[in-house]
Amino acid sequence: MKKGFAETGLRDLLNTGEARLKIAGVDEELTINPVPDSPCRVACPAGVNVKAYVGLIAAGNFERALAVVRATNPLPGICGRICTHPCEAECRRAEVDQPVAIRALKRFIADYARAAPQAKLPPGTPRRDERVAVVGAGPAGLTAANDLVRFGYRVTIFEAQDKPGGMLVWGIPPFRLPRDIIEEEINSILGLGTELCLNTRVSDPAQLLKDGYRAVFYAPGCQKAIKLGLPLEDELSGVLDSLTFRVDCLPAHPGGDAGSGRGGCCRRGRRGADRLSHPAGGASSAGRQDSGTALHPQYIG
């Protein structure tokens, strides 16, 4: 067994079905079989290791539980409030009484993190020279940026609006998802070293490759409401879908084009020192370099 472990690694050895466990005083050797992912983890769209972080919470190890969640989901406070928790529908505890309150536990450790130290890159994280552009600062873009910076890439997020968050901000009302929660979790991602450019509409992602980015992750979002399917729904005046109604109830949030002179406002996270507050109307394309802010005059014409 030692030889097999040295040659193939523990996981490969377990997958062979040949691993055995010998217990003192027991004549029969026991076969060791790999355990498949739990149903709750399989049901989770982010693949969060539910069993691990719930167990760590039960043991009182909140920081480690938070690290387990953030390994695959950098927005635990947001998901702990608005996720539809398909994991709970697959929880085997329901066969006994009720499912484990998985989403509520995620929210608990996310709220605990508000008083915990700022998230940091693990020791030994590589530092790569390649730059990667992320178009869109919604959940998909933020998650991609988080994963890329953890792999050591230099990441810049381009957002057309004057606030990051995408539909988290424009589609969900504050009483359902508090804005300070969104801000803190985005700042946690920026604090890892990600750069954020607001009021910067990217009309030609291919141009970013010409500007020196090694790759572009395109995540402009799916900003389309679900229709009711009623007759004349799209023809009568004063009949609005939920998303149009929600956006119309918000203050104006114009987004400038990077080549128009209105865009280019960038923030580089610096261990939470730079917040997500910006002067109205963005920044001049002439740029400034104060307070850790880096402006890019023109990316897309």
- For residue 290, what pLDDT band results from cuts at 50, 70 and 90? very low
Classify 260 as helix, strand or coil.
Answer: coil
Judge whether residue 262 has pLDDT over 50. no
pTM over 0.75: no
Percentage of residues in the chain with pLDDT exceeding 90? 48
- For residue 250, what pLDDT band results from cuts at 50, 70 and 90? low
- For residue 287, what pLDDT band results from cuts at 50, 70 and 90? very low
Judge whether residue 260 has pLDDT over 50. no
Give the relative orientation of helices 50-58 and 62-70 as an angle to the nearest 10 degrees: 170
Q: Which of 202, 223, 211, 184 is nearest to 134 (CA)?
A: 202
Written as six digits, the tokens of 253 are 């949030």
The amino acid at residue 253 is H
Judge whether residue 222 has pLDDT over 60. yes
Residue whose pair of structure tokens reads 């309150």 in the numeric block: 101
pLDDT in tens, 29-50: 777 666 678 899 999 999 999 9
Q: Which of 160, 158, 139, 142 is nearest to 150 (CA)?
A: 142
The pLDDT assigned to 244 comes to 81
- For residue 95, what pLDDT band results from cuts at 50, 70 and 90? very high
Percentage of residues in the chain with pLDDT exceeding 70? 74
More confident site: 16 or 231:
231
User: Domains of the chain (ranges plus CATH)?
Assistant: 2-31 (no CATH), 39-113 (1.10.1060.10), 131-268 (3.50.50.60)
The pLDDT assigned to 18 comes to 67
Written as six digits, the tokens of 282 are 């963005």
Judge whether residue 3 has pLDDT over 90. no
Written as six digits, the tokens of 20 are 């055995």
Whole-number Å distance between alpha carbons of 267 and 247: 25
Q: Averaged over 20-25, what is the pLDDT?
A: 72
